[in-house]
A and B are shown apart, each in its own frame.
Chain A
Amino acid sequence: MTFLALNAVSKNFGPNTVVRDFDLAMHNGEFISLLGPSGCGKTTVLRMVAGFETPSAGQIEIEGQDVTGMRPNQRRIGMMFQSYALFPNLTVAGNVAFGLKVAGLPKAEVAARVQEMLDMVGLSGLGGRYPFQLSGGQQQRVALARAIAPRPRVLLLDEPLSALDAKIRVSLRTEIRAIQRQLGITTLFVTHDQEEAMTMSDRVVVMSGGRADQVGRPEEIYNRPATRFVAEFIGALNLLPGTLRDPTAGMVETATGPVALARPVERPAGAAVTLAIRPEMLRLLAPDEATSGHAFHGHLLAREFLGPIIRLRAQLQNGPVFSVDCFNRDGGAIPEIGQIIRLALHPEEMVLLEE
């Protein structure tokens, strides 16, 4: 059952089309992230759901009700902003109570709900403080409490973690997700941070140029990117251009030699294709080790120590430079710079990107 639906929604600002033909169907209680670089239209989608922008075309439904032209204060949504947007003249409790008072709830009920919300976000004792007396993380917790206090149908999060310190960002995202699960509230989350999108979401929508490039579970997005943009935007990636020699056998001719995909490809022979390989999928082979998969030959250019991971830069024979990630515990086995190396890869871990 679709709870929130965007049907062929477009938005123009003057001559600029910011969102084009955007479709999305959310289930009740689902957490979906809109992920993309700045200017991809993700915030505009969120603001159209909130009612701050009106779609130029298309339709938005919540619980089967068409809300496209409805004013924001009629939609029963909750929203969190990057800048917290707490009312500076109201105390923490006053901020959380705002939506409840506007809705005309009796005083006792307001007080009880405010207390419940502050307990939930872990700010029980701070109801009497003013926003300027709180840290950024605390302010955003108040904003969360304020947004969910009136029991909205949909929770909209506009980069709520971007202004926070790295540590608080991680702890707060866990907390937001936990509260969202506990309340079962349908949530749309806008971010440019792929780690946030991957860790928090049921599904991720990767956007570019006002369109949804791919909609899928985080694993799908990462392991099976549908477009070159998705593949390049998420995670690090090695690209190897080539020509399709044999579609049925999946044979691709590249500068560093033939590569067998070991699966049929639905493209004509002679088509230009690009192979995409994640750095962590490549494995450094010991000098005499045999492999059942494909083996790239080259020599080591550089090594960077990143803590848990050591990132190698390998010059492939007659080919491009690849990044290779090894675990720190393999550190002892890593050859010296300039030494000849071999990199092993299972054919199914190669993604074929179409031009």
Chain B
Amino acid sequence: MMVARKTGRRIGPALITLAAALYFFVPLYAAFQFSLQMRRGEWSLDAYRSVLASDVFLNAFLFSITASGAAILCGVLLVVPTAYWVRLKLPRLRPVVEFISLLPLIIPSVVLVFGQIRLFGSNSWLPLTTTDLGTNLLLIAGYVVLSLPYMFRAVDNGMAMIDIATLTEAAETLGASRLRTIVTVIFPNIRAAIVSGAFLTFSICLGEFVIASLLNRQAFGPYMVQLGQDRAYEPAALAILSFGLTWLLMALMQAAAQRKPGQGWLPFRNKAPRP
């Protein structure tokens, strides 16, 4: 309302917005254009074909998807019961759990994985890095740690929004057991929060480089770096694909976070009438 009076002042903000939009757009466009130039003298999707047809790509990508999926599963199983229990029974412990959960934001992943490699190295008490399975487990553990801040915050915010203590009491006065309460009351109400945390975890872990590389895993992140050293056009195609994937994941996360009870998962199949 204030602004309508001062139309002249909108030029500055408009210029800033335009400059920022340009800065955001140009690298994407450059990568896109570059990715189309593999065949001399004409536009083509050869770079994308070359990437997608490669077995190395497929294996690395599948490996990363599996690792991220496993990390999500472990993260949810670890965070949801803990967050629920702390809110319900041990509120005094909340700052401690919160601090631990946010710690990975402070500690660079290279430091973290260094410690893990040394602690679980070949001549340690629990030599995880000596076997393939052990190393994979360590990778998943590393990803769970990495995504802990995001998962915990998403789930904890979700629980804060529904006041789980009162809901639990309400369910118990109606005769529900603790397990039934969690399964039929708490979980459906924080499902959106969990899904949103899961997508975030996925987008962080899928292209993760440092941990995977230091554990010598043939994952998507190390594959991309290798490709960047060997090829010219394929990396640009990968950048575009990654950006598209990140955007898709964020869109799904938004949709999950904003979904109302009774609303369908797809925007055009709403069961609940809009207010």
| Interface of chain B: mostly helix, strand, loop or mixed | helix
A23 at the interface (CB under 8 A from B): no
Which residues on the B side are within 8 Å of A52 (C-beta)? 1-2
A280 at the interface (CB under 8 A from B): no
A53 at the interface (CB under 8 A from B): yes
- A111 and B5 CA atoms in complex are apart in Å by 36
- A54 and B1 CA atoms in complex are apart in Å by 10
- A54 and B4 CA atoms in complex are apart in Å by 10
Which residues on the A side are within 8 Å of B2 (C-beta)? 52
- A54 and B7 CA atoms in complex are apart in Å by 13
- A53 and B6 CA atoms in complex are apart in Å by 11
- A229 and B5 CA atoms in complex are apart in Å by 34
Which residues of chain A from 263 to 297 have any CB-CB distance to chain B below 8 Å in the complex?
none
Q: A53 to chain B: closest CB distance in Å?
A: 7
Range for the number of chain A residues in contact with chain B: under 10
- A13 and B3 CA atoms in complex are apart in Å by 13
- A54 and B6 CA atoms in complex are apart in Å by 11
Which residues on the A side are within 8 Å of B5 (C-beta)? 53-54
Q: B1 to chain A: closest CB distance in Å?
A: 7
Which residues of chain B from 179 to 212 have any CB-CB distance to chain A below 8 Å in the complex?
none
Q: A143 to chain B: closest CB distance in Å?
A: 20
A44-60 CB contact bits vs B (8 Å, 1 = yes)?
Answer: 00000000111000000
- A338 and B100 CA atoms in complex are apart in Å by 72
Query: Closest residue to A53 on the B side, CB-wise?
Result: B1
Q: A60 to chain B: closest CB distance in Å?
A: 15
Which residues on the A side are within 8 Å of B1 (C-beta)? 13, 52-53
- A52 and B5 CA atoms in complex are apart in Å by 9
Query: Closest residue to B2 on the A side, CB-wise?
Result: A52
Q: B5 to chain A: closest CB distance in Å?
A: 6
- A52 and B4 CA atoms in complex are apart in Å by 10
Q: A177 to chain B: closest CB distance in Å?
A: 30
- A52 and B6 CA atoms in complex are apart in Å by 11
Which residues on the B side are within 8 Å of A54 (C-beta)? 5
Q: A322 to chain B: closest CB distance in Å?
A: 39
B1-27 CB contact bits vs A (8 Å, 1 = yes)?
Answer: 110010000000000000000000000
B154-189 CB contact bits vs A (8 Å, 1 = yes)?
Answer: 000000000000000000000000000000000000
Q: B6 to chain A: closest CB distance in Å?
A: 10
Which residues of chain A from 125 to 141 have any CB-CB distance to chain B below 8 Å in the complex?
none
Which residues on the B side are within 8 Å of A13 (C-beta)? 1
Which residues of chain B from 35 to 81 have any CB-CB distance to chain A below 8 Å in the complex?
none
Query: Closest residue to A51 on the B side, CB-wise?
Result: B5
- A53 and B5 CA atoms in complex are apart in Å by 8
Which residues on the B side are within 8 Å of A53 (C-beta)? 1, 5
Which residues of chain A from 44 to 85 have any CB-CB distance to chain B below 8 Å in the complex?
52-54
Q: B219 to chain A: closest CB distance in Å?
A: 49
A13-24 CB contact bits vs B (8 Å, 1 = yes)?
Answer: 100000000000
Q: B266 to chain A: closest CB distance in Å?
A: 34
- A53 and B4 CA atoms in complex are apart in Å by 9
Query: Closest residue to A52 on the B side, CB-wise?
Result: B2
- A52 and B3 CA atoms in complex are apart in Å by 10
- A13 and B4 CA atoms in complex are apart in Å by 10
Q: A281 to chain B: closest CB distance in Å?
A: 44
- A53 and B1 CA atoms in complex are apart in Å by 8
Q: A88 to chain B: closest CB distance in Å?
A: 20
Q: B213 to chain A: closest CB distance in Å?
A: 47
Q: B241 to chain A: closest CB distance in Å?
A: 44
List the 5 shortest-distance A-B pairs measured between CB atoms, nearest first.
Answer: A54-B5, A52-B2, A53-B1, A52-B1, A53-B5
Give chain B's interface residues, CB within 8 Å of chain A. Answer: 1-2, 5
List 6 A-B pairs, Cβ < 8 Å. A13-B1, A52-B1, A52-B2, A53-B1, A53-B5, A54-B5
